[in-house]
Amino acid sequence: MQLNSAERNNSKAKLAQKIKKEIQEEYHRQASFLRERSDFCQELEYFLEIFSLPVSPQKVKKRFSRPFVGIYCIQAPLELFDALGFHPIRLCSGSLAIQRLSSPFLPALTCPLIKSCVGAFYLDESIEKLCDILVVPTTCDWNTKLPEMIQDKAIPFYIMELPHIKESERGQSRWLEEIYELKRFLEQCAGRRLNRSQLQISVNKYMKAWQAFGRLIEFRRRGLICGTWSIVLANAFMIDDVESWTDKVNIVLKNYDKPEGNSNPGVFLAGSPVFFPYLKISELIEEAGMDILADELCTSERLIASVIYDEPSEYGLLKALSERYHLSCSCPTYIDNDRRLKNILNTMRTYNIKGIVYHLLKGCHPYDLESFYFEKVIKENGFRFLKIETDYSREDRQNILARLEAFRATLC
Amino acid sequence: MITVGIDLGTAAIKVVFIDQGSLLWAKALPTLPQHIKVCEQLLKEGMETVSLKKKDIAGVAATGYGKRLFPGSMKIVDEISANAVGAYVLSKARARTIINIGGQDVKVIKISCEGKVDDFKMNDKCAAGTGRFFEMAGRILDTPVCEFGDLSFQSLSQVCLNSTCAVFAESEIVSLLSMGKSRNDIIAGLHKSVARRISELTGSLYLEEAIYLDGGPAVNKGLTLAIKEELIRDIDVLEQPQFTVAFGAAIILSEEMSVKESIKAERR
Amino acid sequence: MKIRILIILILFIYFILIQGIDIYAFSSKEEYLWIEFGKCMREKDGSLTLPLELNYGRFPGAKQGLKGLDEVSVFYSLSETDHNGKPVFYTARIQQDKQNYSVNINSSKQNRFIVFAQAKKKQNKVTIRYLAKTSFFLFGHSFSKKKTTRIILSREINRQLEIRIIPEFQCWPQTGNSVKIIPVFKKGYLAEKAISLFDQNMPQVEIMTNEKGECVYVPREDKRLNQKGETAFKQAVIVAEEDQGGIKHISSYTLLLHRSRFKNYKFFMGIAIFLGTMAAVFLFVIAGRKRIKF
Amino acid sequence: MTKVYKLRFLVQSMSFAVLTYGGRLGLRLGHCLPCFTCPYVGSCSGHCYLMALQRSQWGFQISFAEAISVWGLRALGMFAGFFLLTIIFSKAWCGWICPFGTLQDWITFLRKKLGIRESQFSWTLRDRLKPIKYILLIFLIVIPILIGNAGLHSDFGLPFCQICPAKKLMPIFAGNFRYFAVDISNPITAFMSIVSLILTAFFFVGMFFKDRFFCLFCPLLALISLFEKFGFLGLEKKVDACTGCGNCQRVCPLNIREVHLEKKKKNVLTQDCILCLRCVESCPQAKVLSLKFFKNTIFSSSKDYISKRFIKKKRENLCN
């Protein structure tokens, strides 16, 4: 039976409506999970509210009152957007329900994060309406192909070609060139030129955020704040306004005290990103009786780095920015990334963490490829290693939990 | 001191009674939606057979996927640790590697000299090469799984099964049958495919001697042989391999309790 | 062609000859005694030895040796004084090597030296008393504390006619810097007195003292000296004579001169070069920056 | 916690004043200081060792016969003084004491105030510049030897001092512009002074556009770095904890890459390092970079320091 266009649109809208409801449920369920935790306190409510963005974007847009720049991955320089009057948000998505909108036309083994990201474009209050510009650095293959997947959407895309070799002059200067190009592009969009002192103010703002984040990480390392909450707080940074985020984090750190001090073994969480509402892995780790004392997820601890500039000239500032978003970043898509593993090992040694949980999203190839070498080296260094490959679905919770519990037993 | 280990697996529920590390009684029943009923039934049966009263039992340890579902357990043990301890004790501290083929998963567990879990590998969300896989094949081939071992030895020319996926293997078996391949050859092929799957999970070099196979399908001698051939390693099978996990859980509980008691005794 | 070459050759030989002729030898003045500086030598122990040559005749070319001179003696003083505050003089030993008479002054540490040489000559019943003087620094750096035995002078030096130079001790005497010359006769000044000046590279000059008995001399820029290194020096001998009926006093002072340090500095030229280069480099850098993409 | 850059600024300014004007107060610090305290500044209190090195009394302008005597011993003694001073402070002479370095830092400060960006050298160019200072060092030793033994014209004496920009620029602070002149005494002096003027102009512009431009070529830096491994001060890196953020490379006035790129060795005090400690200041990783004095840590990197050093509390302070 052939449907006419009106009917088709009608059924499409109905489907979208249904999925939207599912998404809302998913978000609310996750949020209420978090609220019911024993270590929830009222200050944390602020961060849970932030995540209502995909559910009610218009509300969020009103809240931030600046034109939005949607970005994927952490290589786009946030300070630059801020200095030119844009509000940068990261469009990463951890929603399972939203995948239903995109899975019909994506490969079955697509990275779930990308599936959700693409799906978000097909919600009725879509990213199209929300963001004025989209910035996509070409990190992994999925991200590189992302603009192609949604080319039917009328939204200006800015693609930053990421040089995958960091520690060479060519790579660094090419990335600087990309930053300059982005600056020009943003200047055009904003209709004004970049002001040096404005950029300095922005850099300072983000440095304050870095400072607060550093304190958060320190709290976490000492086991004063649990891994899930720090991931949630870091996730919120990707959407929230930087200044209010900094304030709120400082407030949380001031008032927060964990209900009871337990002596769970600490683990290091590495691998693919974890983003609200997909907090399965961190919750399961905690359920299995371990503390995530440290992680190196690009949605958590790797999110904020310091921007230190010595030259207040525009060139100096942009160079500092370019290096902060290129050299400081340890995305597995880089070729010369040997420091990442060393740093992980160092952190584990420093904080007496005995094991590493390597979280892997199915289809996340860079991390998957790395995991084997990681496993070898980490075991050679006398640490425990557990690789968990999963996706956004909840059905393998028992399987993962069983493994995590056994893993905990090996840590004691 | 008598302790009970219950393994609420995905395929079967196993109950083991032990006394000071020695097996008293063991029985398995297939998993039904009413887990607790099955468990209680098995416990009752066990108590009757060994002629015990409820107060004689020092404690019950639960393990397996349904370990949290059984309300009467004193201790919940994760199945990997339980498996390691069980196999270690049953093999008289010889086992260093265990390959466990369960209802839904395949685990390879490395055990340290002290009988603790050193490292383990487990399949992710995929039932290929597990007990389910054999159940499925048994249904299509219209043969009870327990006969697989003997039948595979009668195979003249092994069939090669390409698919490692439980679902796709099903259609492959059907097409092989329609091509006129013998049942025995297909079963032998199945064993080989499972063995390959296990070797892919870890690689032969990962395994340390002595290697033991346990879990329900381990009874299948044809499968054991196929795994031996595939890994080119010597592999032993424990007696009553499906009970190692439950046994291990019971052992863990009894050890824990004896430690507690000795502490109590010292305090006195 | 050949004629031209011949002419050039003749001219060339002529110039060489002209250079070779010592034009200062035609001076009308009388001969005098002077001290000539030799090349300062570094001793192994870190001390310095300055050979001073005694000469008689006309500086610089006409040396006659010390024949016919009596009572030749050399004294020197270091920067030491006796209890009266007068400088202590020592006798120096004169070494004779064929026609050359010389005195070696050795200094193991930093010292200021004043050296006198005196001689007498009888000529047609007229006694001529010669006095030669010079002063200099020697920066010896010996670690050894050994003291050379010095013979303290017993008799007075005949310093009736003496040429004083102000400043007496210069760190770096050089051309272009003025020196004040004061001839002193029996502790009195000689006004409007003609003094001769024999420069190594220059024609002889006559200077008159003013009514106060002083005269100021500015050694001229010397191209030949300039060609040499910074440490190269030349000498000039200042001669004064006083006839006193029967006894004639002829005194000399040997002035050491380096090339002028700063008189040849062309400041504006330098600044122009500096600023010009700076501008060029500046423009170069700016242009280079414009070419870069960012 | 004291801020290192402020302390350094203070120490630099003070040592500039002491070394440049201390002579007026009768301060005499000798002739073997391992920094560019130029003897041509009439009132300086100590002399740059490079001059002694080229001189006849304390250095290489000496005949071989004289070398094996008290005169050679004197040169050795001068070197011993230099060596002692060098190993005590090592490269801190360059980054903290050298008045010429301080002058360069002041000029850089001015440039930063003006918001003019620093010129960048490519990695290859930067590497090619490295041997120049050693070549200069060889020249400033060989030429005096030739003067002393092979009869080279003595107007080539003190060859480095003649072309050194510090000889022109430092006396300005004593009100002396004399050395900007061309010495036309003879062709050699004229040539040398014109060359030195051109070089001075080049370096002067270079200093403006590039941090510590002269230090890239400084033969004294090369000489100090020869004795670096005896030095008491050390710059060490915890290689495993370095994230490779590149801050150290970016803030380094001499664009040293080794601190950033080093992945194995602990010692990162490289030949060009001037121990200005900017890398330690800007390292966000706790204790990754540290300044050591006989294995005692004097200063090491930390997040707290960065927060204090680089984060401005108020907006107004930002726009400098």
Mind telling me how many Å the CA of A313 is from chain C's nearest CA? Answer: 12
Q: Does A314 touch chain D (CB under 8 A)?
A: yes
- β-bridge partners, C162: C184
- Residues near A364 by Cβ (< 8 Å), separated by ≥ 6? A111, A113, A140, A271, A272
**Residue whose tokens read 């060489």:** C16
Of D242, D310, D315, the CB nearest to A308: D310
pLDDT above 90 for D288: yes
**Residues C11-33: what's their mean pLDDT?**
59
pTM comes to 0.85
- Domain membership of residue C228 (yes or no) is yes
pLDDT, residue D219, reads 94
Of C228, C230, C270, the CB nearest to D180: C270
Least confident among A376-385, C155-164, C235-244 = C155-164
pLDDT above 90 for D209: yes
Beta carbons of A308 and D247 less than 8 Å apart: yes
Contacts 24+ apart (CB under 8 A), A185-189: A185/A158, A186/A69, A186/A80, A186/A81, A186/A84, A186/A86, A186/A133, A187/A84, A189/A84, A189/A86, A189/A132, A189/A133, A189/A156
Could you list the beta-strand ranges (E) of D248-314: 289-293, 296-300
Rounded to whole angstroms, what are the CA distances from D208 to A291, B137, D273? 53, 81, 20
pLDDT above 80 for D186: yes
| Highest mean pLDDT, choosing among B91-95, D119-123, D217-221 | D217-221
Interface of A with B in 344-363 (CB under 8 A): 362
Q: Does D209 touch chain C (CB under 8 A)?
A: yes
Beta carbons of C141 and D74 less than 8 Å apart: yes
Contact C45, C262 (CB under 8 A): no
Domain covering D233-309 assigned CATH 1.10.3470 in the classification: no
pLDDT above 70 for C251: yes
Q: Complex ipTM above 0.90?
A: no
The domain segmentation of chain B, as residue ranges, is: 2-83+244-267, 93-237
- Residues near B198 by Cβ (< 8 Å), separated by ≥ 6? B99, B101, B106, B108, B129, B227, B230, B231
pLDDT, residue D226, reads 92
pLDDT, residue C226, reads 87
**Residues A258-277: what's their mean pLDDT?**
83
pLDDT above 60 for D1: no
Burial (CB < 10 A; 0-12, 13-18, 19+), residue B55, is exposed
- Domain membership of residue C11 (yes or no) is no
Residue of A nearest to B109 (CA): A406
- The superfamily (CATH) of domain B2-83+244-267 is ATPase, nucleotide binding domain (3.30.420.40)
Chain C residues inside the 8 Å CB shell of A318: 294
Packing angle, helices D99-114 and D187-209, rounded to 10: 50
Beta carbons of A409 and B124 less than 8 Å apart: no
Mean pLDDT across chain A, nearest whole number?
88
CA separation for the pair B198, B202 (Å, rounded): 7
> How many of the other CB atoms lie within 10 Å of CB of D265?
10
| Highest mean pLDDT, choosing among A49-53, A151-155, C37-41, D35-39 | D35-39
- Domain membership of residue C160 (yes or no) is yes
pLDDT, residue C29, reads 61
Beta carbons of D186 and C226 less than 8 Å apart: yes
pLDDT above 50 for C20: no
pLDDT band at C241 (very low <50, low <70, confident <90, very high): confident
**Residue whose tokens read 């006396």:** D171
Beta carbons of B78 and A402 less than 8 Å apart: yes
Closest to D36 measured CA to CA, from D177, D160, D178? D160
pLDDT above 80 for A235: yes
Compute φ and ψ for A93, nearest 5 degrees: -135, 140
CA separation for the pair D167, D29 (Å, rounded): 19
Which positions in chain D have a beta carbon within 8 angstroms of at least one beta carbon in chain A? Answer: 112, 115-118, 122-123, 238-247, 250-251, 261, 263, 278, 282, 284, 303, 306-307, 310-312, 315, 318-320
CA separation for the pair A42, A39 (Å, rounded): 10
Q: Does A220 touch chain D (CB under 8 A)?
A: no
D17 or A7, which is more confident?
D17
A61 or D319, which is more confident?
A61
Chain A residues inside the 8 Å CB shell of C294: 176-177, 180, 315, 318
pLDDT, residue A193, reads 92
pLDDT band at A174 (very low <50, low <70, confident <90, very high): very high
Closest to C226 measured CA to CA, from C197, C201, C203? C201
**Residues D177-189: what's their mean pLDDT?**
90
Helices (H), C119-237: 223-227
- Residue pLDDT tens, chain B, 268 long: 788 888 888 888 888 888 887 888 888 888 878 878 888 888 888 888 887 787 778 888 888 888 888 887 788 888 888 889 888 988 888 889 888 888 788 888 989 888 888 888 887 767 677 888 888 888 888 888 878 888 888 887 778 777 667 777 788 888 888 888 888 888 888 888 888 888 888 776 778 888 888 888 888 888 888 888 888 888 888 888 888 888 888 888 888 888 888 888 888 7
Tell me which H or E stretch contains A342.
helix A338-350
pLDDT, residue B207, reads 80
Mind telling me how many Å the CA of C267 is from chain D's nearest CA? Answer: 4
Q: Does A410 touch chain B (CB under 8 A)?
A: yes
Strands of the sheet with B2-8, listed across from one edge: B22-30, B12-19, B2-8, B57-63, B75-76
pLDDT in tens, A74-85: 999 999 999 999
Mean pLDDT across chain C, nearest whole number?
81
pLDDT, residue B192, reads 85
pLDDT, residue C268, reads 93
Mutate to test the interface with A, among B125, B130, B245, B252 (most CBs of A within 10 A): B125
Burial (CB < 10 A; 0-12, 13-18, 19+), residue B262, is exposed
**In angstroms, what is the C-alpha Rg of chain B?**
19
pLDDT, residue D150, reads 87
Give me the number of domains chain C comprises: 1
pLDDT, residue A8, reads 81
Q: How do strand A355-361 and strand A266-271 relate by DSSP bridges?
A: parallel
Beta carbons of A343 and D247 less than 8 Å apart: no
Tell me which H or E stretch contains C88.
strand C87-92
pLDDT, residue D320, reads 43
pLDDT band at C28 (very low <50, low <70, confident <90, very high): very low
Burial (CB < 10 A; 0-12, 13-18, 19+), residue D2, is exposed
| Highest mean pLDDT, choosing among B134-138, B160-164, D293-297, D312-316 | D293-297
CA separation for the pair A163, C123 (Å, rounded): 103
pLDDT band at C26 (very low <50, low <70, confident <90, very high): very low
Tell me which H or E stretch contains A204.
helix A196-221
CA separation for the pair D260, D249 (Å, rounded): 6
Q: Is D150 left (phi over 0), alpha (psi -120 to 50) or beta?
A: alpha
Contact A351, A294 (CB under 8 A): yes
Burial (CB < 10 A; 0-12, 13-18, 19+), residue D241, is buried
3-state helix, strand, coil in chain C (%, to 5): 20, 45, 35
- Residues near D56 by Cβ (< 8 Å), separated by ≥ 6? D62, D144, D148, D157
pLDDT above 80 for A268: yes
pLDDT band at A319 (very low <50, low <70, confident <90, very high): very high
Amino acid at D218: C
For B93-237, which CATH class?
alpha beta
- Residues near C71 by Cβ (< 8 Å), separated by ≥ 6? C118, C119, C120
pLDDT in tens, D14-65: 999 999 998 888 888 989 999 999 999 888 899 999 999 998 878 888 888 8
| Highest mean pLDDT, choosing among A283-287, B239-243, C45-49 | A283-287
Q: Does C278 touch chain D (CB under 8 A)?
A: yes
pLDDT band at A280 (very low <50, low <70, confident <90, very high): very high
Beta carbons of A318 and C294 less than 8 Å apart: yes
The domain segmentation of chain D, as residue ranges, is: 4-223, 233-309
pLDDT band at C293 (very low <50, low <70, confident <90, very high): low
CA separation for the pair B85, B75 (Å, rounded): 15
CA separation for the pair A252, A46 (Å, rounded): 10
pLDDT, residue C25, reads 40
CA separation for the pair A396, A388 (Å, rounded): 11
Q: Does B42 touch chain A (CB under 8 A)?
A: no
CA separation for the pair D166, D51 (Å, rounded): 12
C84 or C221, which is more confident?
C221
Using CB atoms, which chains have 3+ pairs under 8 A with A?
Answer: B, C, D
Burial (CB < 10 A; 0-12, 13-18, 19+), residue C269, is middle
Range of the domain at C151: 30-266
